[in-house]
């Protein structure tokens, strides 16, 4: 049957063109541009429902670029003749694009320098001393040599590992937070797990491991949550409040004053810190926080703690635990109120600093005036706490109002 059809086909056929599919890039690795590769390289943005692109060469050494795409449920092809010079230009453009980061994921290394500097500082004050303690190095020469080698490594490794990836200010922010606070978390965990006490060597290993792990998790957290700099700053602020709130609650409830309950206090501090980080992540996903907003939120929490002190002192309860507990409660209230105020405001980093500075200046002004007025030294704590709280509130309110929309 086929043999009977061939003569008819030959009789009605036009010119027959024979083509060979050829490679697209100069290295000979790309035979076809798939939808995934097209998206990565940013090619053919005008073609909707792109399916593929291939290059063919005819027997006469002319080239044809064939694009396939979908339209109204049907598969379409678009073929464009190319000169050898145009093919060379296409291949050079492909090689250039293949050497670049994926479209939409270009490297942003604006935070890389500070990130590397932070790791050097961590080495000077954490990694280096921890390694010396772990190795039990005696004498100045071996300890100093170890410290220098550790610091050199803390420059080289971050430098090499971040050569071909983004390191934004958000990466730097959370890596710094994780590296420094991670030391505290690690020591709390070690204290929580140790039933028979800790040794200096184990503490050295804890400091080294928790600082390095904290830096890594903080850095990767930005990738996992796609955090902006403002969101990263918010994480750090809420993590600090969570940690301090947990430690303060443990102290206020007397857990650290009862031998057997100390580990409960450590556990409470860790849980509270985790709750603070979770709250920071939740706020970051549900609010539009800038870095300046995060600074204002921190100032609001501190102001809340400061304003709680004269209220506790007014009850005439002479107890440090009562003051710490009141400060924790005040900080929570201050954070809640500040978050409410920030829902309709956006502050720049500079404005956030000025508001924080205004609060500090107002509190110091109140303390200074009270100290000058207390010529006989008869004022009690209530007078000083009250004046500091009033001054801080005034400074915060005035600067907040100046920059409010």
Domain boundary among 56, 82, 99: 99
- DSSP secondary structure, 334-382, as one string: HHHHHHHHHTT----HHHHHHHHHHHHHHHHHHHHHHHHH-TTS---HH
Provide the number of structural domains found in the chain: 2
Does residue 253 belong to any structural domain of this protein? no
Does residue 393 belong to any structural domain of this protein? yes
- DSSP secondary structure, 158-180, as one string: HHHHTTTS---HHHHHHHHHHHH
- Please choose, from the candidates 177, 182, 170, 189, the residue with its C-alpha nearest in 3D space to the C-alpha of residue 208: 182
By the 8 A CB rule, do 404 and 379 touch?
no
Does residue 201 belong to any structural domain of this protein? no
Does residue 208 belong to any structural domain of this protein? no
Domain boundary among 65, 99, 133: 99
Does residue 37 belong to any structural domain of this protein? yes
Does residue 54 belong to any structural domain of this protein? yes
Does residue 226 belong to any structural domain of this protein? no
- Please choose, from the candidates 219, 208, 218, 214, the residue with its C-alpha nearest in 3D space to the C-alpha of residue 162: 219
Domain boundary among 99, 119, 142: 99
Task: Per-residue pLDDT tens, the chain, 405 aa: give them.
Answer: 444 444 554 555 566 778 888 888 766 678 888 887 887 777 888 888 888 899 998 888 889 999 998 887 678 888 998 888 888 888 878 877 776 666 555 577 889 999 999 999 999 999 999 999 999 888 889 889 998 999 999 999 999 999 888 899 999 999 999 999 999 999 999 988 876 777 889 999 999 999 999 999 999 999 888 888 999 999 999 999 999 999 999 999 988 877 667 888 999 999 999 999 999 999 988 888 999 999 999 999 999 999 999 999 888 777 889 999 999 999 999 999 999 999 888 899 999 999 999 999 999 999 999 999 988 878 888 899 999 999 999 999 999 999 986
pTM of the model: 0.73
SS3 call for 226: coil
By the 8 A CB rule, do 68 and 49 touch?
no
How far apart (Å, rounded) are the C-alpha atoms in residues 278 and 238?
A: 8
Enclosing domain of residue 297:
290-405
How far apart (Å, rounded) are the C-alpha atoms in residues 205 and 135?
A: 10
Does residue 47 belong to any structural domain of this protein? yes
């Amino acid at each position: 049957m086929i043999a009977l059809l061939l003569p008819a086909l030959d009789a009605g056929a036009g010119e027959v063109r024979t083509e060979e599919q050829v490679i697209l890039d100069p290295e000979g690795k790309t035979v076809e541009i798939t939808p995934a590769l097209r998206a990565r390289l940013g090619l053919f943005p005008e073609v909707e429902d792109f399916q593929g692109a291939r290059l063919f060469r005819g027997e006469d050494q002319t080239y044809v670029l064939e694009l396939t795409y979908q339209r109204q449920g049907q598969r379409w092809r678009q073929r464009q003749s190319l000169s050898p010079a145009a093919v060379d230009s296409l291949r050079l453009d492909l090689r250039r694009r293949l050497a670049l980061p994926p479209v939409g994921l270009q490297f942003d290394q604006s935070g890389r320098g500070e990130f590397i500097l932070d790791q050097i500082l961590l080495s000077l004050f954490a990694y280096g001393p921890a390694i010396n303690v772990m190795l039990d190095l005696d004498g100045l020469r071996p300890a100093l040599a170890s410290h220098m080698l550790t610091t050199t490594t803390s420059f080289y490794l971050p430098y090499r590992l971040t050569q071909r990836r983004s390191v934004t200010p958000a990466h730097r922010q959370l890596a710094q937070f994780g590296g420094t606070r991670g030391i505290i978390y690690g020591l709390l965990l070690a204290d929580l797990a140790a039933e028979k006490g800790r040794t200096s060597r184990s503490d050295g290993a804890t400091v080294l491991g928790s600082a390095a792990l904290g830096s890594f998790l903080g850095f990767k957290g930005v990738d996992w949550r796609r955090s902006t700099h403002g969101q990263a700053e918010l994480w750090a602020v809420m993590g600090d409040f969570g940690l301090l709130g947990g430690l303060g609650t443990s102290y206020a409830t007397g857990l650290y004053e009862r031998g057997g309950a100390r580990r409960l206090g450590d556990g409470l501090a860790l849980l509270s810190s985790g709750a603070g980080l979770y709250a920071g992540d939740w706020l970051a996903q549900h609010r539009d926080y800038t870095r300046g907003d995060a600074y204002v939120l921190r100032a609001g929490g501190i102001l809340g703690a400061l304003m709680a002190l004269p209220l506790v002192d007014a009850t005439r309860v002479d107890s440090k635990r009562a003051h710490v507990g009141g400060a924790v409660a005040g900080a929570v209230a201050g954070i809640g109120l500040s978050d409410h105020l920030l829902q309709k405001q956006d502050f720049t980093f500079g404005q956030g600093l000025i508001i924080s500075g205004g609060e500090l200046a107002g509190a110091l002004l109140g303390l200074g005036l009270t100290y000058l007025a207390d010529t006989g030294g008869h004022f009690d704590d209530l007078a000083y706490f009250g004046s500091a709280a009033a001054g801080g509130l005034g400074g915060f309110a005035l600067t907040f109002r100046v920059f409010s929309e």
